[in-house]
Amino acid sequence: MPPRGVTRLRVGTHTLDLARPVIMGILNVTPDSFSDGGRFVDLQHALVHAHAMVADGAAIIDVGGESTRPGAQAVSVDEELARVIPVIEALRRELDIPVSIDTGKPEVMRAAVVAGAGFINDVYALRLPGALEAAAALGVPVCLMHMQGEPRTMQESPQYGDVVRDVTNFLGERLDRCVSAGIPRERLLIDPGFGFGKTLEHNLELLRRLDEFAGLGVPLLVGLSRKSMIGKALGLALDDRQHASVALALMAVQRGARIVRVHDVRATHDALRMYEAVWPASES
């Protein structure tokens, strides 16, 4: 599907070309994230992993200091800052690549941008107190994600009338709210929030109809990597979900996603390069 709306996104001193699918590498510096919790809490390990992801094809690194897996407990602002700021500062020193901060807290947003982050990835869609105002003042791109409920309880019997319609309406309302607050539409992206307050069937329906989100007129970012929907659909343990994750990323790109947020950068990069060889950006 040809990209609609913004095709070039300014992130700090870098420009992401959204005419081609972009890989966002996940760098969780948390002890309890669902997939890689505890692996990269040490600064040196985090940097080694970031270097590897860039070498494998990541175009932006997403740093997260608070797990948002189902059932996760919130952490304090001070704890989140202590986890992410040293990593962001080191990434900006060592790598010539855009850095995203995965947070909903305005205090963390501000400190992260000062440290060198040029993109805000917010699972709360700027709904926490002060977040909308902070994002508007910071002047960086923001991704707004849909989540029904909050991480601790979001998987307790999520309900929708029509999941695609309901998620689209929510994201449309948040986009309008952001524009009213002074964030230009060309700095906004959306994420339907796979696995965030959705059953397996909700997730599958979102992916089947992902192209419908193009009507909102902003770039689409998706995170499907190693999600529990794979385990539920295929009966696979967490460590065995790489191949299915790559398949889901490819399906998302075919349906209009411009940024895919992934753990397995090399495998995803190779799959997308092959996809582009068959269907160049102008035709896909």
Q: Kindly report the CA angle at 230 between 170 and 158, in degrees rounded to 5?
A: 35
Confidence of residue 20 (pLDDT cuts 50, 70, 90): very high
Comparison of pLDDT for 282 and 58, the residue scoring more: 58
Confidence of residue 33 (pLDDT cuts 50, 70, 90): very low
The pLDDT of residue 178: 99
* This prediction's pTM: 0.93
The pLDDT of residue 124: 97
Confidence of residue 39 (pLDDT cuts 50, 70, 90): low
In the chain, what are the domain boundaries?
8-277
The pLDDT of residue 283: 59
pLDDT digits (tens, 9 = 90+) for 202-227: 999 999 999 999 999 999 999 999 99
pLDDT digits (tens, 9 = 90+) for 182-201: 999 999 999 999 999 999 99
Q: Phi first, then psi: what are they for 262, rounded to 5°? A: -140, 155
Comparison of pLDDT for 255 and 151, the residue scoring more: 255
> Is the confidence at residue 9, as pLDDT, over 90?
yes
pLDDT-wise least confident of 2-6, 169-173, 253-257: 2-6
96-99 contacts, C-beta under 8 A, 24 or more apart = 97/14, 97/54, 97/58, 97/59, 97/60, 97/61, 98/11, 98/12, 98/14, 98/16, 98/59, 98/60, 98/61, 99/12, 99/60, 99/61, 99/63
Q: 166-202 as b/e, with b when 16 or more CB fall inside 10 Å? A: ebbebbbebbeebeeeebeeebbbbbbbbbbbbbeeb
> Is the confidence at residue 3, as pLDDT, over 90?
no
Confidence of residue 27 (pLDDT cuts 50, 70, 90): very high
> Is the confidence at residue 37, as pLDDT, over 50?
no
Q: Examine the residue annotation and report whether 261 is marked as an active-site residue of this protein.
A: yes
The pLDDT of residue 88: 98
pLDDT digits (tens, 9 = 90+) for 97-155: 999 999 999 999 999 999 999 999 999 999 999 999 999 999 999 999 999 988 777 77
Domain 8-277 architecture: Alpha-Beta Barrel (3.20)
Q: Examine the residue annotation and report whether 127 is marked as an active-site residue of this protein.
A: no
What are the C-alpha distances in Å from 118 to residues 74, 123, 141, 165, 227?
Answer: 24, 17, 7, 31, 26
The pLDDT of residue 5: 63
> Is the confidence at residue 36, as pLDDT, over 90?
no
pLDDT-wise least confident of 1-5, 46-50, 171-175: 1-5
CA distance linking residue 118 with residue 51, whole number of Å? 18
The pLDDT of residue 225: 97
CA distance linking residue 183 with residue 181, whole number of Å? 6
The pLDDT of residue 70: 73
Confidence of residue 156 (pLDDT cuts 50, 70, 90): confident
Which of 69, 227, 241, 258 is labelled catalytic? 227
